[in-house]
Structure 1
Amino acid sequence: MKKATVDLFSRIFSVLAPPPDMTISEWADEYRRLSSESSAEPGRWKTSKAPYQREIMDAICDMKIQKVVVMSAAQIGKTDALVLNPIGYYMHYDPSPIMVLQPTIQMAETFSKDRLSPMLRDTPVLRDKVNDKSRTSGNTILQKIFPGGHVTMVGANSASSLASRPIRILLADEIDRYPATAGNEGDPLLLAGKRLTTFWNKKEVCVSTPTIKGLSRIEVEFEHSTQEEWNVPCPECGEYTPIEWANIIFDKTNLDEIRCVCPHCGVISGETEWKEQFKKGRFVAQFPERKVRGFHLNALASLFVEWREIVEKFITANDEKKKGNIELLKVWTNTEMGQTWEEEGEQIETDDLYKRREKYNCEVPEEVLVLTAGVDTQDDRFEAEVVGWGVDKESWGIKYQVIYGDLKLPQVWEELDAFLSQTFTTADGRKLKIICTCVDSGGHFTNQVYRFCKARTARRVFAIKGKGGATVPYYNKPSTANSVKTPLFTIGVDTGKAILYQRLAVLEEGANYCHFPKEKDRGYTQNYFKGLTAEKMVMSYKKGKAQYVWTLKDGGFKRNEPLDIRNYATVALEIVNPVLKKPDKTDVVTAPTKKRGRRSRMNGGI
C-alpha cells in the first residue's frame, strides 16, 4: 500500500514538475529527427549546420520574451527551425495549446500532411503523443491533440478558424502572404493575436519573407523590434560585421571566385574563409532595450546556399530589368536578400483605370443583374454613384452624380430621391431599379439622413456610419438606437477599401473585374479616378501591433469621395445579398429573405 502511494505521488509530481532547463535548440539537437520527405539529409537534427538558427530558437522559449519576429530570405530553414521545432519542444516538455497560422486553409492542410505528420512519425519522443488511429481521439488534419494541449492549424483567409480558440503559442508563418482581411472580419494576425490574451506566459512568433515596402507586415514588425542582424568575425581582423550584398565582390564574366570585403579592415576574403567563421556568428541588436526580439537574415548567411547561386540569380534579374522586366529583381530582393521591394509610380493605377474605360453603347450592359448605390453627404452637396453587378461580383459603373444645394432645404433631398428612384434599362430590355442604397450619415446632417432613410426603408435605402480599423467587420446587423429609429449599419470602411482595391487590381474581365464607362455624361472623369485611388494602404504600428492603415497618398489628390461612395455601393450589395446568376428568359434575380426561409423574387428591382 505504501509503495503504491509512493508510485502514485511520483507520477503526479512528474506531471506537475516544471519543464527541464532545456532550450529549443538543445531539444532539437537531442530529440528532433528530420524526415526524408522534407529534408535532403534525413536523420538527426544539427543546429551547427545553420548556426544562426540557435539564437532565434532559444529566444522563442525565453521566459522574458513574449514575441519574436523573423524577417528573412527564403532559404534559411524557417519552417523547420521556427515552426516545427517549437511545436516539438512544447509538445514534449511544456504542453500548451498551439496555433499555426498559414496564409490559407489549403496551405495549413499541406503543412499538416507534409511537414508536421512526418515529424511526429519520425521523432521518437513525439511518436506516441498524438493518436491519429482512433476515431474518437478528436484528431483531424487541422488539429492534433496531445496530453496537455493541441496543435491547431488554420488559414488566415478563414475568419471562422481564427475565432474562439484560446491559445498560448501562436506560430504565424509567412505573414506577408496573409490577405488584408479574413473574410469580412478584419486583419487575420490581429484576430489570431486576441486568442493569446488569457495566458500570462504567451508566445507569438511572426516569420516571413518580406514583400512590398509599405505593405509588408513583417517589415513593420521588424522595425519595432530589437532589429538584430547576423554578424560574423572577419577572417583577417576579427571584427564582427554583417554579410551584406554591398560588400560582395565578383566578376560577371568569371564567377569561379566570389569574395567579400571587410568594412573594418578592407581585406577581401573568399567565401570559404568567411563561412568558416559562421560558427562564431552572433546577432547584434540595433535597439537592444526593446521587448520584441527581431531578427533579419539574408541568403548569404546560409551554409546551404553557395554565393555563386545568389550572384547568378542577381545577374539574370538585373539583365531582365534592363529589358523592362523588374519582376525577377523584385523576387531576388525579397527571397535572397530578405528585404522589401519599393514599388515606383503609385499614379500608374489611376492612369490605367482611366485608360481602360469602355463605351457601353447602352444605358446598362446586359450582363448587369442588379443595381446598388452609395451616397456621400457633404455640407453643400450629395455625391452618389449607381453600380451594376453581374455574376461573380463583376461590376459596371453606371452613373456618378453630384447634386449641389443647401442641405437645409428640402429641394436637394427631393433631387436625391429622384436620382435614387430612377428606372434603368439594360441592353436586352430589362427594367432595373436600385435594390439597395447606403447613405453616409456622418457630417452635419445626421438626423436629416436618418429621416430620409426612415421614409424609404421599404426601398432598402439605409443610413450607414463608417468605422475605421482592421478588425472592424465589413458590416454588422443594423441598430435602431438613434433619434428616428431607422436601421443604421456600421460599416468597416478599411475592410471595404481593401476588398475594393483587390478588385480594382483585377486585369481580366470576369469575376470581380471593375468596368467603367467612357461616355462623358456619366461622370467618370479623371478626377473621379484620382478620387477612387486617392488613398494607399500602408502598415502602421499601433498599440504594440502591426496593422493596415489607409491614408491619402503623399502629394496626391485630396478628394476621396469616389472611393468612399464605391465602398458604400459595394457594401449595399453585401447587405441585400442577391443571388447573382445569369438570367433565364423570365429575367428574374432572387435575393434571400427571412420569411419562412423562402426567396423573394425582385425582377432586378423593388
Structure 2
Amino acid sequence: MTMMFNPSRLAYEALAVAAEPPPPVDYLAWAKENIVFSERISAFPGPYNEALFPFFSEILKALSPDDACSIVTLHKSAQLGGTILANIFTLGTLDMDPCDFLYVHPTEENAARWSKTKLMPLIRETEAIRALFSESSRDGGNSILYKERVDGRGAIQAAGANSPAGLSMISPRKQVQDDLAKWSMNEAGDPETQADSRSKAFFNRKALKISTPLIAPGCRITTNYHAGTQETYHVPCPHCHELQELRWENMRDHIDPEHPEKAHFVCIHCGCEIHEHHRAWMVAPENGAKWIAKHPERARFHRSFHIWVAYSPLESWEALARAWLKVQAGGPDDKEKGAGAEQVFYNDWLGLPFEADNKAIGWEDLRDRGEETGFQRGVIPAEALALAIGIDVQGDRVEWQLVGYGRKRYRAVIDRGVIDARAGSHMPGYKVHSGHIAEPEVRAALDRLVARTWPDEWGNRRSADIVAIDGNAYTEDVWGWVRKHPKSRVIMVRGDNKDTARMLSQVREFDRKGKPKKQKWASRFFNFNASIMKIGLYRDMKKTDPEQTGYIRFAVGLGDDFYQQVTSEIRVAERTRTGHPRYVWKLPSGQRNEALDMMNQAHAGAIRLGVTYWTDEEWDMIAERLAKMDKPAQADLEDLLTPVPDAPAEKTAGKGAAESLVAAALARAERARQRNR
C-alpha cells in the first residue's frame, strides 16, 4: 500500500497541537485525585477530603488561571491547614501548569525546615509528583532550597525573606508568600516588594499571600487583606437557614465560665442557639454556605479571605472558650508571651490582628491614679509574690527599678533609684565618685542592691528573685560585673523592637561568614521583645479595676519623672525607601525613657524566672508560705513551692539570697518550654 505524503496536512496538524488550549488547571480536583495525607503530616490521614475544609475550595478556585485575580490573600488563624493549601497550589502548579515557582518564608532557616518536613514528604507520598523530581543529592537540580523538574520545565525555589539573594535567583510566574506577617526588612529593603517584583513580567502571574496576623497597624497580612475583596465565610443558621458570618463577639458573650463545654453562637436572625454539632452541616456549600465579599469590585486583581478556628474541624468550640477563659484568668501561657497572652489569643485563635496602643495614657492621669490608689514606697504589696529588678546602664549613671509580680499578670512598681556621680548611690550611707558601671564603687553599689532586702506586708524581708541588667551598651563592662554573680540570679538583657521577635531568646552572634560565634556571656545574655512588651504595658496601664488581668499598681512617691518616662515612647509609621510603612517606637525629643526600659528589663527577668508558667496552685502555695513565716527572712522559692510540713522560720531561711528560688523556677520553666515544643 502506498502512503501519500501531504506536507500541508502535517503542518496543520502540528499547528492544531500547538494551538490547542492546555487542560484546565483545577487545583481542587487535582488535590482530591492526588493528595493523600499520612499520619505524620495531617490530623486527618487519607485522601484530601473537601467536606472537612469546604471553605478552602473557593480559595483553590481563585488560584486557578481561570480566575482573573493576580493576588490571593488568606488572613487566618494558626494551625488551620493553610500550609496544606499552599502546598497544593505549589505541587499542583508543577504538575498541571509547570513554571518557575517561588516559595518564600520569613527566614532561610524556615524555608529549609519547610522543605525537609513538609515539601519532601508530600512529594514522596504523591504519585503524580514523585516521578517529576529527582531524589538524588548529587543532582544539581535537587537541593534543600531548589528542586527542578527532571524535564527542566519548572522548578521550586524556596527562599527566606531575610535574604535578598534568595529573592532574586529566579523570575517566577507563581509564588507563595508564607507567614507574611513575620517578614522583616532585609539588607536591600522591603522583602515583600522584592518578591512581588519578581513576578511582574507575567500577565498571568499569581501570588498566594498567607499568614496569621500579628500587630496592627503595621501587620503585612492584614494590610493585604484590607486591600482585597475582604471575603468572609457565611453559613446558614440550622434553625432559620438565614446566612451569617460567625463572629467571635457572638460566642464570647455567651460563654459560661463554669461550663465552657457549652460554648455556642446565637443566630442574629432568629435568636436560636447554634452549637458545635451543627458546624459540619453549616459549613457545607450544598446547604448554602458561601464566601461573601465586602468589596467584590476588587476581585479582578486581588481576592482576600478571612477564616478562623470556629469553622475548622481542627479545634473544638470548648477549646476556644477555655483558651479565652485562660487569658481572662491570667493563667500560665504556653507561648512565652507573658503579658502578650491576649495577643496570642487574638492572633492564633481568632485570626485577628492585635490592635496596638500606640500611645500611653497621659502621664498626669497615671500619676494621679498611682498617688490615689498606691501603696507605701519600698514596701512589697501582699499581691507581689515574685520580685524582679530591671537595671538600665547609662554613661554617667546606673538606674534600677524593683517590680513585683503576682497571679493574673499583676505587676507593682515598688521602688527605684540611681547610682551616679552627683548624688551617689541612692542607698543610705553609700557614696560613689563616678556613675559608670566600670567603676569599682558602682559595682560595689550594685552588689549591695542585689543583696538588699525590702519589707513586705507580712513583715518578712525579701530580696529580688532575679536581676536583669541592660547589656546592650558597655557590654564588656556589664559582663565584668555580671559574671561574679550566679547566672540563676543575674542575667544580661537587651531589647529587640521587632514585632516578630520572640518574647525572650538567647543572644546569638555571628561572624562575617554567618557562622555562630561562641561568646563568653552567651549562657546568660537574652534578647527580649521590647515592642510587644510596650504594647502590653500601655494597655495594662489603662486598666483601673484591680481585679482585671494585667492590672498595675504604683508605689506612692515615685515622682513625676517616673510617670513621664514610663509613658514617653510613641509607636509611629516610618516610610521605607520602597514606600512600605514600618512601625517603630520613637522617643520624642527632649524626653527620657529609662523607667520604660526598666519595666521591660524587669519583665524579661520575670519571664526568665518563669512567672508566666506558674499555675494558680503554685501562686497559692507561695502566698501561703509567705504569710506563715514567723521571722522577717527571705525564703527560697524551692521552699515556698514545695509542700512540706510547716517548719520554724529559721529553718526555712538562710540558704543565701534566692539562688534556689530562681533555680527551681527556671527548671520548671524549661520543662514547660520542652512540653510546648
What is the aligned counterpart of 1:257 among 259, 262, 280? 262
Q: What per-residue deviation string (whole Å, max 9, x for no partner) do you get for residues 493-512 of structure 1?
A: xxxx9789989999998588
The secondary structure found in structure 1 opposite 2:264 is strand
Partner of 1:80: 84
Answer yes or no: is the 8 Å Cα contact 1:395–1:513 preserved in 2.
no
Answer yes or no: is the 8 Å Cα contact 2:76–2:307 preserved in 1.
yes
Instruction: Measure, in 2, the Cα distance between the counterparts of 1:11 and 1:126.
Output: 28
Answer yes or no: is the 8 Å Cα contact 2:565–2:592 preserved in 1.
no
Answer yes or no: is the 8 Å Cα contact 1:247–1:261 preserved in 2.
yes
Cα offset for 1:322? Answer: 12
Amino acid paired to 2:581: Y
The aligned runs of 1:553-564 (5 Å cut-off) are: 557=588
Cα offset for 1:557? Answer: 3.3
Instruction: Measure, in 1, the Cα distance between the counterparts of 2:359 and 2:247.
Output: 29
Distance 1:561 1:251, change over 3 A: closer
Instruction: Measure, in 2, the Cα distance between the counterparts of 1:211 and 1:171.
Output: 19
Amino acid paired to 1:338: G
Instruction: Measure, in 2, the Cα distance between the counterparts of 1:325 and 1:504.
Output: 8
Amino acid paired to 1:255: P
Cα offset for 1:328? Answer: 2.5
* 1:237 maps onto 2:244 in alignment: no
What is the aligned counterpart of 2:282 among 267, 270, 277? 277
Answer yes or no: is the 8 Å Cα contact 1:98–1:150 preserved in 2.
yes
The aligned runs of 1:307-386 (5 Å cut-off) are: 307-320=317-330, 326-344=339-357, 346-347=359-360, 357=394, 358=398
Amino acid paired to 2:276: E
**Any unmatched runs of 5+ in structure 1?**
368-392, 398-424, 429-496, 515-524, 563-606
Answer yes or no: is the 8 Å Cα contact 1:97–1:169 preserved in 2.
yes
Cα offset for 1:288? Answer: 1.0
Question: Superposition RMSD on alpha carbons, in Å?
Answer: 4.6
Partner of 1:167: 172
Instruction: Measure, in 2, the Cα distance between the counterparts of 1:158 and 1:87.
Output: 21
What is the aligned counterpart of 1:65 among 62, 69, 93? 69
Q: What per-residue deviation string (whole Å, max 9, x for no partner) do you get for residues 421-477 of structure 1?
A: xxxx9999xxxxxxxxxxxxxxxxxxxxxxxxxxxxxxxxxxxxxxxxxxxxxxxxx
The aligned runs of 1:139-538 (5 Å cut-off) are: 139-146=142-149, 147-178=152-183, 180-182=184-186, 184-248=187-251, 249-280=254-285, 281-290=289-298, 291-320=301-330, 326-344=339-357, 346-347=359-360, 357=394, 358=398, 394-396=472-474, 510=525, 536-538=571-573
The secondary structure found in structure 2 opposite 1:277 is helix
Distance 1:247 1:74, change over 3 A: same
Instruction: Measure, in 2, the Cα distance between the counterparts of 1:426 and 1:41.
Output: 53
Q: What per-residue deviation string (whole Å, max 9, x for no partner) do you get for residues 316-347 of structure 1?
A: 11111799954322211111100111234745
The secondary structure found in structure 1 opposite 2:112 is helix
Amino acid paired to 1:203: K
Distance 1:535 1:236, change over 3 A: same
Instruction: Measure, in 1, the Cα distance between the counterparts of 2:479 and 2:108.
Output: 41
Answer yes or no: is the 8 Å Cα contact 1:530–1:557 preserved in 2.
no
Answer yes or no: is the 8 Å Cα contact 1:300–1:307 preserved in 2.
yes
Amino acid paired to 1:317: V
Amino acid paired to 1:109: A
Answer yes or no: is the 8 Å Cα contact 2:148–2:156 preserved in 1.
yes
The secondary structure found in structure 1 opposite 2:159 is strand
Amino acid paired to 1:161: G
Instruction: Measure, in 2, the Cα distance between the counterparts of 1:211 and 1:329.
Output: 12
The secondary structure found in structure 1 opposite 2:213 is coil
Partner of 1:579: none
Distance 1:116 1:158, change over 3 A: same
Amino acid paired to 2:54: P
The secondary structure found in structure 2 opposite 1:154 is strand
Amino acid paired to 1:330: Q
Instruction: Measure, in 1, the Cα distance between the counterparts of 2:164 and 2:297.
Output: 35
Q: TM-score, normalised by structure 1?
A: 0.60
Q: What per-residue deviation string (whole Å, max 9, x for no partner) do you get for residues 76-121 of structure 1?
A: 200001x100011111111111111111111111111111111111
Amino acid paired to 1:287: H
Cα offset for 1:43? Answer: 2.5
Instruction: Measure, in 1, the Cα distance between the counterparts of 2:105 and 2:390.
Output: 33
Instruction: Measure, in 2, the Cα distance between the counterparts of 1:8 and 1:106.
Output: 52
* 1:105 maps onto 2:105 in alignment: no
Instruction: Measure, in 2, the Cα distance between the counterparts of 1:300 and 1:513.
Output: 32
Amino acid paired to 1:548: P
Cα offset for 1:276? Answer: 1.0
Q: What percent identity do the matched residue pairs reach?
A: 23
Answer yes or no: is the 8 Å Cα contact 1:363–1:427 preserved in 2.
no
Cα offset for 1:38? Answer: 0.4
Distance 1:214 1:26, change over 3 A: same
Instruction: Measure, in 2, the Cα distance between the counterparts of 1:117 and 1:104.
Output: 18
Partner of 2:51: 48
Answer yes or no: is the 8 Å Cα contact 1:63–1:201 preserved in 2.
no
Instruction: Measure, in 1, the Cα distance between the counterparts of 2:63 and 2:214.
Output: 24
Answer yes or no: is the 8 Å Cα contact 1:142–1:153 preserved in 2.
yes
Partner of 1:27: 30
Partner of 1:548: 581
Amino acid paired to 2:233: W
Instruction: Measure, in 2, the Cα distance between the counterparts of 1:216 and 1:531.
Output: 25
The secondary structure found in structure 2 opposite 1:284 is strand
The secondary structure found in structure 2 opposite 1:251 is coil
Answer yes or no: is the 8 Å Cα contact 1:237–1:265 preserved in 2.
yes
Instruction: Measure, in 2, the Cα distance between the counterparts of 1:114 and 1:11.
Output: 44
Answer yes or no: is the 8 Å Cα contact 1:215–1:537 preserved in 2.
no
Distance 1:244 1:550, change over 3 A: closer
